[in-house]
Amino acid sequence: MRISAVIITLLVMSLNMTAIAQQASYNEAVSLLEKTKYNQKRGNLEGAIGHALLGLDQAETLGNQELIIQFKEVIGGIYLAKKDYKNAVSSYFAIVLAAERQDDQEGLGMGNLALANTFSDMGAYDKASDYYQRTIDNFETLGKKREKANAIQALGYNYSNSNQFSKSILTFESLLKLAISESLYSYISSAQKQLFLDNIKTNNATEAAKYGLSYYERIKDKGNSATLSDATRNLALQFIKIGDNKNALKFANISVNIDGQNTMSLETLAKAYAANENYNKAIENFEKALESNDRKRNSEGMARNYNQMAELAIDRGDLRVASNNLGKAEEIGIERNTRITLLDTYRMLALVNQEKGNEDQEAKYRSMHEAVKLQIGDPDKIVSKLSRAKENLAESYEQEARATISTVENKKLAQEREKLRAQQKLKDIEIIEQQARLQAQELQKKKLEAERAKQELLITEKTNEASTREAELERLQLDAELQKLSEEERDKRLELIEKEREILRQQTELQAQKIESDRQARMLYFMAIGATVIILAILMVAFYRTYNNSKTIREQNQNLAEQQKTILNRNIQLKKSSEAMLAMNNKLKKAHVNLKVLLKKEQATKEQLEKTNLDLKNTQVHLVQAEKMSSLGLLTAGIAHEINNPINFVSSGVQSLTKNFGEIESFLENYQKVLALDNLEEIKKYATVLQEDEDFLNELQDSSKELLEDVRYGILRITEIVNGLRSFSRHDEAEVKETDLNESFDSALLILKNKYKNKTEIIKEMDETLPQIQCFPGQLNQVFVNLINNAIDAIDENGEIKIRTINLDDSSIEIRISDNGTGMPEDVKAKIFDPFFTTKEIGKGTGLGLSISHGIIEKHRGTIRVESKMGVGTTFIINLPKKLELDDKILEEQNLKLG
């Protein structure tokens, strides 16, 4: 009962420790998520992606799907902010596939929305529209009206950004209808605003004014000044277009009253005054706008204001004022290279010269107008932003993400299958062990039964032998008694015969005497009477004696009868004893037959046990190999995780450098264009652009230096990892070599770094005088990895592992690996080196690590022992000889392994 209570207590403690460890890992993952968001908010995208990848790894280890999705959303957002669309698509696509597998419509909607935003941001607008529509369908299925409205709004923005204004208008009209019917007030104003702006872009002033007025009425009491100023200014311009000059002037004044320093509002007010034929006010406000732009050093705004005043002068027929203003606009446009204003300037100069009848100047300015228009395109023309190349790129990203995720999922499934196989093997081993134990118990039971039957047989034999001896003794006694009785009877009969003879002799003598008496009777009558009396007396005596003898004979006969009866009873008893002995003999024969059957069963069981033992040995070999593969898997996972971050440094740096070089190429093209120019005026036009390019080029150079430094750091880190792996691979050799154990520990720690970092502090106290020792490096390296890995598992969090090497004397060294983990009770410590003994959960440990390690140390003629105290920690102490002397058996085994 006490043992059961201890086992239950240990199980409860183990479950509690597992729960605590999982909670600690969860807390760490949540902390990494918070750090990721904090760095993302501050614009430190590299720091954010580093924390996010670590957190994602932690979440995947925990198997917490909610955390995994959150990390992938954040990672996708970081990549999107970095314009790394490929990785952003991969992250969001993983969310979509996970939601599809779990039939999570809400998660599917959020994932589709994120993918749609990514495709829209990279310019693959058709692909984005497809995913926005999927999102709308997802939330329609769930009945989530607000989320559906949000997706419709995003689809409308996507159409608007790609200049598909007819589709954008239809989309926002449907959003407006949904928002009004479901009382989604924030979406009502956003739909009205976008319908207002898109109708402006399509020159549908009537519809624009309608939606603009509705939008203004909704925001006039709660909108900010900038929003209200823009809305009223644009609304005034639409009223000018449809000829509602009164409302145009009204809203233009509202715009200026809201933000009098806004030059665009002043320009709009001037246009409204002009539409109302108040030219003085119009000129006054254009001049105010010009002064404001001059103060702000806004060359393009100044050139635009001169163009606007020239256009007003042309409408009034004042060509001199128009020419004067256009000249100033041209001067500013050429000096500042404001091509958009030059386009209007040259158009109106051609118009002025046409009015003046100056055909050469008209032709010149029309030519210059066309040249500028050729350079910048028609600003009023709506050009579709759809790009087949970007759509194809988006498609390739989607397919690559699908393939990558499928590969990862297949690897996970393969790992899961391997895990299940390992668990099944462990279960099979447990079943085999149970069968072996049952067979051993059955064999022990049969042995006990056979032993008991043998003892019973011996007892029966002894009993039968004793019974036989007793019966023989009784028979001898009976024979002796019968012989004695026969002799007595014979003596009595002889005595009786003698007596009868004596009587006959006496009778003969009496007859002779009677005859003699008769003969003498005549002579002696009186003597006859006396003789007769004497004879009668003698006869009486004889009769008496005969009577007495007859009585004695009767008594003897009676005694003989009794003795015969006794003999008969003894014969009956002997018969019963013979029958009992016969039954015992039959039992002995049956027991003998059963003993033969048991011996045959024992032989079969022995053969089965030998076969089971062979199977167990083979299974042990496979498990040893599985333990080695587990170490290899640990190595692969650790190195993959360690090398991932520096690769991200290199990858991000290379991508950014590629972008920078692309910018530099465009600068070089501008320089080449300038070098190819012969006209000084044209070169002057490019002077400002080249100066701005030079400033930006300096920024690119500084940025490129920083990126190159990041790439160099990543490459150095990868080099360190590769060097550590090369060291580890040199150690993984199956022959005796001179080895530096301090270096071996460095390699082992490199392999396990991903497991102990952020959890355990490693303290190394390496003896610098420690010489190289003779050993099998690969096998000792496996021992070090096993012991350090167990130490890491024994620590919940913020633990400490101390590794110490000691040069004891000329012939031996000592290694101590200590942790401040949970420690071990005495019963666990006693079985720690037993094969298949493990305190870990099923599937997380085979129970062979320490058993294999113990065997390896013994093969090196060394010793390994453990010191442990509950709540304090555990220390493994290894003593190894400096020179390894191997016997022929170990060398033969090693050669077989090598073979």
DSSP string, 148-189: HHHHHHHHHHHHHHTT-HHHHHHHHHHHHHHHHHHT-HHHHH
Please check the confidence at residue 602 and state whether its pLDDT lies above 50.
Answer: yes
Residue 793: predicted pLDDT:
83
How far is 368 from 353, CA to CA, in rounded Å? 14
How far is 90 from 107, CA to CA, in rounded Å? 16
Residue 74: predicted pLDDT:
85
Give the pLDDT band (50/70/90) at residue 205. very high
Q: For the segment 413-451, what is each residue's pLDDT rounded down to a tens digit?
A: 666 777 777 677 667 777 776 776 777 777 777 777 777
**Backbone dihedral angles phi then psi of residue 744, each to the nearest 5 degrees:** -60, -40
Lowest average pLDDT, out of 10-24, 202-216, 572-586, 850-864, goes to 10-24
% of the chain at pLDDT higher than 70: 69
Helix, strand, or coil (residue 621): helix
Which of residues 223 and 82 earns the better pLDDT score? 82
* Nearest of 809, 144, 90, 613 to residue 401 by alpha carbon: 90
Which of residues 627 and 852 earns the better pLDDT score? 852
Residue with tokens 């957190």: 55
% of the chain at pLDDT higher than 90: 18
How far is 57 from 63, CA to CA, in rounded Å? 10
Helix, strand, or coil (residue 833): coil
pTM of the model: 0.49
Please check the confidence at residue 6 and state whether its pLDDT lies above 50.
Answer: no
Sheet with 760-765: list strands edge to edge.
Answer: 760-765, 799-806, 812-819, 873-881, 863-869
Residue with tokens 């007010």: 269
Give the pLDDT band (50/70/90) at residue 834. confident
Helix, strand, or coil (residue 824): coil
Please check the confidence at residue 524 and state whether its pLDDT lies above 90.
Answer: no
504, 508, 510, 513 alpha-carbon torsion, rounded to 10°: -170
Please check the confidence at residue 195 and state whether its pLDDT lies above 80.
Answer: yes
Count Cβ neighbours within 10 Å for each residue of 319-358 and write b for 16 or more, e otherwise: bebbbebbebbbebbbebbbbebbbbbbbbbbbbbeeeee
Residues 848 and 835 sit within 8 Å (Cβ to Cβ): yes
Residues 253 and 269 sit within 8 Å (Cβ to Cβ): yes
729 contact partners, CB below 8 Å, separation of at least 6: none
* Nearest of 820, 732, 831 to residue 775 by alpha carbon: 732
Q: Calculate mean pLDDT across residues 518-542.
A: 62
Residue 732: predicted pLDDT:
47
209's tokens:
């004014």
Helix, strand, or coil (residue 861): coil
Please check the confidence at residue 209 and state whether its pLDDT lies above 90.
Answer: yes
How far is 589 from 335, CA to CA, in rounded Å? 130
How far is 430 from 755, CA to CA, in rounded Å? 29
How far is 842 from 844, CA to CA, in rounded Å? 6
Please check the confidence at residue 718 and state whether its pLDDT lies above 60.
Answer: yes
Instruction: Give the highest mean pLDDT range of 601-615, 688-702, 735-749.
Output: 735-749
* Nearest of 856, 814, 849, 857 to residue 832 by alpha carbon: 849
Residues 550 and 536 sit within 8 Å (Cβ to Cβ): no
How far is 391 from 127, CA to CA, in rounded Å? 7
159's tokens:
């159409």
Give the pLDDT band (50/70/90) at residue 719. confident
| Domain boundaries defined on the chain | 436-635, 732-898
Helix, strand, or coil (residue 874): strand
Lowest average pLDDT, out of 122-136, 159-173, 477-491, goes to 477-491
Lowest average pLDDT, out of 220-224, 340-344, 521-525, 804-808, goes to 521-525
669 contact partners, CB below 8 Å, separation of at least 6: none
Q: Calculate mean pLDDT across residues 172-195.
A: 91
CATH of domain 732-898: 3.30.565.10
Give the pLDDT band (50/70/90) at residue 726. low
- Give, for 278, the enclosing helix (H) or strand (E): none
266 contact partners, CB below 8 Å, separation of at least 6: 256, 260, 285, 286, 288, 289, 292
How far is 535 from 527, CA to CA, in rounded Å? 12
Give the pLDDT band (50/70/90) at residue 647. confident
Q: How many residues does the chain have?
A: 899
Residue with tokens 């009186």: 526
Lowest average pLDDT, out of 36-45, 96-105, 127-136, 729-738, goes to 729-738
Please check the confidence at residue 799 and state whether its pLDDT lies above 70.
Answer: yes
Q: Calculate mean pLDDT across residues 358-362.
A: 89
Residue 180: predicted pLDDT:
92
Neighbours of 377 (CB within 10 A): 11
Neighbours of 698 (CB within 10 A): 10
How far is 549 from 541, CA to CA, in rounded Å? 12
* CA distances in angstroms from 40 to 48, 181, 528, listed in the order given: 5, 38, 175
Q: Calculate mean pLDDT across residues 534-549.
A: 65
Residues 742 and 805 sit within 8 Å (Cβ to Cβ): yes
Report the amino acid identity of residue 23: Q
DSSP 249: H
Residue with tokens 């495709």: 119
Give the pLDDT band (50/70/90) at residue 730. very low
- Give, for 625, the enclosing helix (H) or strand (E): helix 525-676
Residues 305 and 293 sit within 8 Å (Cβ to Cβ): yes
DSSP 374-421: HHH--TTS------HHHHHHHHHHHHHHHHHHHHHHHHHHHHHHHHHH
Count Cβ neighbours within 10 Å for each residue of 52-69 and write b for 16 or more, e otherwise: bbbbbbbbeebebeebbb
Residue 804: predicted pLDDT:
92
Residue 11: predicted pLDDT:
45
Report the amino acid identity of residue 367: S
How far is 235 from 219, CA to CA, in rounded Å? 13
How far is 61 from 63, CA to CA, in rounded Å? 5
Residue 683: predicted pLDDT:
62
Helix, strand, or coil (residue 733): coil
Residue 877: predicted pLDDT:
94
Mean pLDDT computed over every residue of the chain: 78
How far is 786 from 751, CA to CA, in rounded Å? 11
Around 827, how many Cα atoms within 13 Å sit in the side-chain half-sphere?
6
How far is 218 from 24, CA to CA, in rounded Å? 51
